[in-house]
Chains A and B, each alone.
Chain A
Amino acid sequence: MAKRELTPEEKARNGRNIALALGLIAFVVIVFITTIVRLGGNVVQRTF
């Protein structure tokens, strides 16, 4: 089945969705690395 050509509205929405997804992924990665950096060696040295 031939793939339907996307309308300009659909193309624009796809672009916005991808940009939003990349922004959210970047935020998650930043929070994760920040957590690792701020905890640092304390994780290894913690007392159980």
Chain B
Amino acid sequence: MTGLAVSPTVIRQAAPALWQDYFQLMKPRVMSLVVFTGLTGLICAHRPMHPFLAMVAILCIAVGAGASASLNMWFDADIDARMRRTRGRPVPSGKVQGADALGLGITLSLFSVGLMGMAVNWLAAFLLAFTILFYAVVYTMWLKRSTPQNIVIGGLAGALPPAIGWAAAAGSTPLNAWLMVLIIFMWTPPHFWALSLYTSEDYGAAGVPMMPVVKGPKSTRLQILIYSLLFVPVAILPAFTGLGGHAYLAIAAGGGLVFLVLAWRLFKSRAGEQISDARTDDGLYGVKADARAARNMFAFSILYLFSLFAALLAEHAFRWSPA
């Protein structure tokens, strides 16, 4: 190697920023999942709501999620530059200045919370503001760099959108709304730890104390199994609280069984113990043979959560009545 080896935190100069680069700051893929769970909460509330105001509420949730993602990209640029999965993001790749990401995040936060409060209601606006602050300040600036429990506690931010949606429609958040929050909250640790088992080299290089880096792969696999055993009953619970129907019960129980089987297989595997990088490309799904159990768990966890909320959405959408 020659002098090409430079500090990975050096932000490269790149071509002038396109509007698409600013859009990428908002993590559109994460935003789409947040919109989906927020919409499910809004529909499950079963309150008459003007369709335009429902659309504004969902837009505010989407923009709020984009705002917190932009703040995350600003603060985490040094970490992102060291990781294969994230080094192509707009700030570490030099397409967008960090200060611009910060400005976009603050502006969109103010717009989304203000519009939610004035157009929909202030409970939904408060929950949205809390979610943005929790993700940007508590998770990004504090937990992520300081504890292996970062994604456990920080997962609350990603779990709150159904409660925001419910609050937007009903002006209140009953237990069933918090049950949806609890489902995503309990789902987060096995989901992210499965991913971090085959990306731990990245996290280690970046100095992020993810569970496999701090406690090792064996402890992580055990904790994934324990969280999975706690999560699946929680996922089935809505079928007994009036939130989910028969279709939901079938999907939650059937999918939950597969979830537990995959968690057991992951526990028995040697995923995370490979010395070299477990991935075969820069994406999330191409992995070597010994990391497949972790990859399978990660991929199925997304499908399972999506199926749970799709079932709730389908069961309630037919009963929803616009104002």
Contact = CB atoms under 8 A, between A and B. Distances in A.
B15 A12 contact: yes
A11 B17 CA distance: 10
A30 B115 contact: yes
A9 B19 CA distance: 12
Interface string B113-157: 001001100000000000000000000000000000000000000
A34 B52 contact: yes
Contact of B15 (A8, A13, A34): A8
Interface in A27-48: 27, 30-31, 33-34, 37-38
A9 to B, nearest CB: 5
Categorize the interface residue count of chain B.
10 to 19
Given A33-B52, A34-B52, A19 B115 contact: no
Given A30-B115, A34-B119, A38-B119, A15 B18 contact: yes
B16 A12 contact: yes
Contacts of A15: 18-19
Interface in B19-38: 19, 22
Contacts, number: 39
Nearest to A7: B16
B205 interface: no
A12 B50 contact: no
B317 interface: no
Given A27-B111, A30-B115, A16 B17 contact: yes
B28 to A, nearest CB: 14
A16 B22 contact: yes
B18 A12 contact: yes
A2 to B, nearest CB: 24
Categorize the interface residue count of chain A.
10 to 19
Contacts of B52: 33-34, 37
B22 A19 contact: yes
B56 interface: yes
Most chain-A CB neighbours within 10 Å: which of B18, B50, B59, B111?
A: B18
B53 interface: yes
Contacts of B118: 34
Nearest to B52: A37
Contacts of A16: 17-19, 22
Nearest to B95: A12
Nearest to A11: B16
12 contacts: A11-B16, A16-B19, A18-B19, A27-B115, A30-B56, A30-B59, A30-B119, A34-B52, A34-B53, A34-B115, A37-B53, A38-B119
Interface of B: 15-19, 22, 50, 52-53, 56, 59, 111, 115, 118-119
Interface of A: 8-9, 11-13, 15-16, 18-20, 27, 30-31, 33-34, 37-38
Given A16-B17, A37-B50, 10 more contacts: A9-B16, A12-B18, A13-B16, A18-B19, A27-B115, A30-B56, A31-B119, A33-B52, A34-B53, A37-B53
